[in-house]
Structure 1
């Protein structure tokens, strides 16, 4: 991972000893680096306090701008597709056959669990999302205007860091979006 910016270390990051947050300029994403072993990872290392890390990333690595000055935001999402989605398949299912109404019912159930505190969006995205971002707890990284579907983009830019949208419908399916920076 080359072209990184200054590292962020200390107990406020929620990372285990010797781990730090760095920022990859080439990917415009944070990653994790162990200063003792030289190991690096896109995923938080084992033993991380994910709540503290999320708070740290939200506050310290908040919305940024690219080289052209365009505002960028970071978001995670949970996607539930249906048979009318533009690509009715996922990492979990070769062919998604559920109806649009069934998909909406599923996403509303997930929204209720998240809002009640029974689960986090990231936890549910890792198991339930039909997007390949599930392997990163739904994290989509940073993006600017014009990089996502309009409905998704509009909903994300309307959120403040730490806020979650209501259900958003796009041609991909139904989303819950959490702006993380």
Structure 2
């Protein structure tokens, strides 16, 4: 294994970390309706907790309304309860086999809470990136110790790892900035 292989594997993990961060941040409420809002909702269906996507279709009806089309009529009440209990500040209303979820406008205080939550997610992701960097550096040290790479390759690898972390941290900051704009938009 070469230093380049270690860096490549580390970069792949960093990309996955960024994807995970983007998925997490998508579930943070903005003033607009988005299906990602309900991604974390789990419905008590058939004796187990199932993601909402496995119980019905979620769609955007308009800028402030989501529509959940439940596949099994017997699951409408459980789905409605799951959305209400998900602590998202949403009040679903059942209409036959569908559930209408109106997205109320955010208060200034609530917007600030969501910005803080977004920043917390970004910090968690940055910590994950730094941990991946530490793994890369540890692997490079081990390769040098085992005489598989030279000291120069190790130092180049460390520089590459640092550059990757800076690149992905900047990407996180860009994503957070965009999300904060969306949240604070009235």
Interval containing the TM-score (normalised by the shorter chain): under 0.3
TM-score normalised over the length of structure 2:
0.25
TM-score normalised over the length of structure 1:
0.25
Question: Which structure is higher in strand share?
Answer: 1
Flag the structure with more relative contact order, 1 or 2, with Cα contacts below 8 A and sequence separation at least 6. Answer: 2
